[in-house]
């Protein structure tokens, strides 16, 4: 499942992000890539331990905690601390798959990367190129979202970032270990959750069908959850 989540960050948050990132200590992005990814990766990245990355990453995690759509789609167990990258002057990232396991630098915690996420921080009109191209069963999906919006997709997907030919593409990216390991199962639960919410709006909280469907959702979650 590939899901566009709108307005994870609002205008005030974006202004703060842009102010802090303008003077941030950008470095070679290959330092956090695996062996194969490093061959294909050409961009800049904030060091994971710098103050700006920690503060802004915390702001993104707080925004995700408030996003009911993200919580329903990802069913997050753990979130890797958000990272930040910048593409400009022809930078790109060739086709790759994200590492299956990431280690949180400050804690040594291991996180299985079930889902990948990108929060776009630059306005699409401010740069050319830089599309995130995600391979799925229907072919390559091209993603270039408004600032503040997020794309969520299976970390098993082949994907790449097209060269940036004008301006700068700035984004945050991170990974999620879900309570539900399998993408197909997450998709079923997400569809059920959305249907339950629509039914609740149509018929009220105490309709017998709503109670039954909610029970089915939680019984499937109980059966499939990897806690």
pLDDT 10s digits, 123-169: 999 999 999 999 988 888 999 999 999 999 999 999 999 999 999 99
Biggest CA–CA distance in the chain, Å, is: 59
pLDDT of residue 38: 63
**Annotated binding residues:** 96, 98, 159, 169
Q: Which fold has domain 3-178?
A: Jelly Rolls (2.60.120)
Is 70 exceeded by the pLDDT of residue 31?
A: no
Q: Which fold has domain 183-224?
A: DNA Excision Repair, Uvrb; Chain A (4.10.860)
3-state secondary structure 169-194: EEEEEEEEEECCCCHHHHHHHHHHHH
pLDDT of residue 89: 97
**Annotated binding residues for 2-oxoglutarate:** 169
Here the tokens at position 130 are 């830089």
User: Whole-angstrom Cα distance, residue 11 to residue 196?
Assistant: 31
Is 60 exceeded by the pLDDT of residue 34?
A: no
* Beta-carbon-side half-sphere exposure of residue 5 (alpha carbons within 13 Å): 23
**Annotated binding residues for Fe cation:** 96, 98, 159
Give the DSSP letter string of 63-89: HHHH-HHHHHHH-EEEEPPPEEEEEET
Eight-class DSSP state of 134: E
pLDDT of residue 149: 98
Q: Domains of the chain: which residue ranges?
A: 3-178, 183-224
pLDDT for 161-170, tens place per residue? 999 999 999 9
pLDDT of residue 40: 80
Q: Is the pTM of this model over 0.75?
A: yes
Tokens 């753990």 locate to 78
As a 3-state breakdown, the chain gives helix, strand, coil percent values, each rounded to 5, of: 40, 30, 30
């Amino acid at each position: 499942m590939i899901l566009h989540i709108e307005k994870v960050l609002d205008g005030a948050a974006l202004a703060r992000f842009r102010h802090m990132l303008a003077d941030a200590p950008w470095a070679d992005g290959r330092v956090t890539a695996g062996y194969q990814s490093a061959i294909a990766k050409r961009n800049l990245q904030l060091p994971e331990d710098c103050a700006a990355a920690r503060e802004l990453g915390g702001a993104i995690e707080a925004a995700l905690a408030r996003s009911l759509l993200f919580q329903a789609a990802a069913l997050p167990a753990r979130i890797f601390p958000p990272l930040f990258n910048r593409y400009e002057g022809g930078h790109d990232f060739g086709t790759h798959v994200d590492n299956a396991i990431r280690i949180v630098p400050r804690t040594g915690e291991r996180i299985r990367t079930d889902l990948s996420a990108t929060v776009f921080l630059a306005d699409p009109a401010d740069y050319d190129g830089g599309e995130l191209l995600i391979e799925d069963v229907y072919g390559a999906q091209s993603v270039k979202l408004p600032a503040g919006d997020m794309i969520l997709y299976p970390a098993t997907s082949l994907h790449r970032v097209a060269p940036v030919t004008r301006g700068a593409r700035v984004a945050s990216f991170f990974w999620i270990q879900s309570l539900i390991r399998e993408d197909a199962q997450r998709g079923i639960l997400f569809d059920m959750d959305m249907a339950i919410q629509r039914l609740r709006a149509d018929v009220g909280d105490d309709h017998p069908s709503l109670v039954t469907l909610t029970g089915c959702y939680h019984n499937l979650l109980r059966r499939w959850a990897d806690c």
